[in-house]
Chain A
Amino acid sequence: MSDTMADVREYARGTARRPLLALGVLLVLAVPFLAPSQADLATEALIFGLFAISVDVALGYAGLLTLAPAAFFGVGSYTVAKFVVDYDLSFWLGFPAAVILAVLLAVAVGYIPIKRRIGHVYFVLFTLAFGAIMHDFTFVTTWLTGGSDGLGFFSPPSVFGIDLGGQMEYYYFSLALVALVGFGIYRLIKSDYGDVLHATRQNQLRMRYLGYDTDRELMIAWVLSAAVSAFAGAIYVGSVGIASPSDISFALTGDVIIWIIVGGTGTLLGPFAAAVGLLFTQELLQNLWQGGYRLLLGLLFVVFVFTLPDGLMGFVRDDE
């Protein structure tokens, strides 16, 4: 690595680390005031940031290459929308229901490839099949999902006298939930459990002979990832007011995988920052060049895989 690159890295993880973090927190808190017209986009960015974090737990820490993140995100958004739009039930009841459904589906999809240890490639294929089934399911079961029209429209309710239907209100509501769940995941990953997953990803055989039930640890990571993805989807549907097939699409799966690669697999903050940054970039490009965003994502994927495989955060953080 050149001296300049090394200096940048040293600066980013040393002197500039705390000011950069503080600036980031301030920006996040002030967005609705600094750019009120962008509050909706900022809300979306936060939620997709949490979504990226959830997938990073499975992909980056446990080494489980899932091709079904959007399926779980969609389970979250559709469950809440179904509860509110069709069943006239509480918006809040949709959240635990979404998480429980995601957990059950994750166990069903992951049990055989993980617990039976039939090979990593089968896990990829199982999730690919699950993602495809879930996507097609939304189109063919119109009575359940609304088909291509989706399920909408609705507004989130008031809580403690605050109308969450307002842009700014829902932004701070989302921020609170994203911060809470994101911090919980951060604490978990920074505990010994993060090292257990990290080590399992590197050498399952050695971990088993140290006494770890690696199948159990991988299942926990997989189910946790699915549950948080669904939780992110549940927050998201409150923001846009409709659950639609794009929430469960392979395009979204592709997006989240690229956010993680650009931000740095197994870094949590990197995928979060990449999701936020690229979502704003998408908005910017949409007005300048339709279709430019997809091309940019493709280019970023190639460039990062070949030149910075550890992503932006991987470049900044310590060797370990």
Chain B
Amino acid sequence: MYRNLTIRQKQIVWAWAFLAIPVLFYTVIRFYPTGNAILISFQDWNLLGDRTWAGLENYEKLWNDPVFWKVFQNTFVYLLLGTPISLVLSFVIAYHLDKLRFMHGFLRMLYFLPFMTSAVAMAWVWRWFYQDVPIGLFNNILASFGIPQIKFLQSTTNALPAVLAPAVWAGLGFQVIIFMAGLRAIPQSYYEAAKIDGVGWFTVLTQITIPLLRPTIVFIVVFSSIGFLRIFDHVFNMTTNNPGGPLNATKPLVLMIYDTAFNGFDMGYAAAQTVVLFTILLIVSLIQLRLLRSN
């Protein structure tokens, strides 16, 4: 039977033979659980008993849950603060690092180091930095100058930026490296031409560097926005005693899902939240892909 196939058909058979493993893998560990999660979001299930149909009940509960809206808002605050700040910071660092020769490798290593550090260890160290006297590093410094204490994590307004700061710092190294690769990829001849024309550095930056970095910028924006929408480990580890607190001021959607599922054992409700997160991620990614394509 195989012998009677044309070469083209044989190629297709082989292609599918090789593809079968990843396809199977994706079906079993990606598509099936995704479908199952969507199914559970219409059911009631506590992990132990039978699943029972709940219709749209979980979604109604979500719509009427003030905590959900607070969490929804937090998730976007993480995104809208985190992405631009890390983008600008990493670009500024990469731009200057690129021009620097002295200790270039060492400095680059210093920026990259946080990216390699375990998020859990980092979050705990920062958590201790933020404590009040007598143990908090920042507040001890303030106190030694006689400045009043700042409540970092024990405040509904300061807590979210305080949690976000190490998360931005951790991702910085990776973005700096990508930006530097992007900067190196811009042909030197453009800069030489600009020099001959006697153009100032600002014009060079806005007319040559940034436009030519566009694909790099789009990639970093897509990458870091997905990261900030899924933020969990920093928040969870810095607020373990009171996850997402105080008063849900730092709680992102992923943490709410975790809490509903594995502390409340309300799998249906948690699945409904997951479907919402999935939809948000899908929309954000589609918008960004569209931007990428129009380039």
Q: A and B, one complex?
A: no
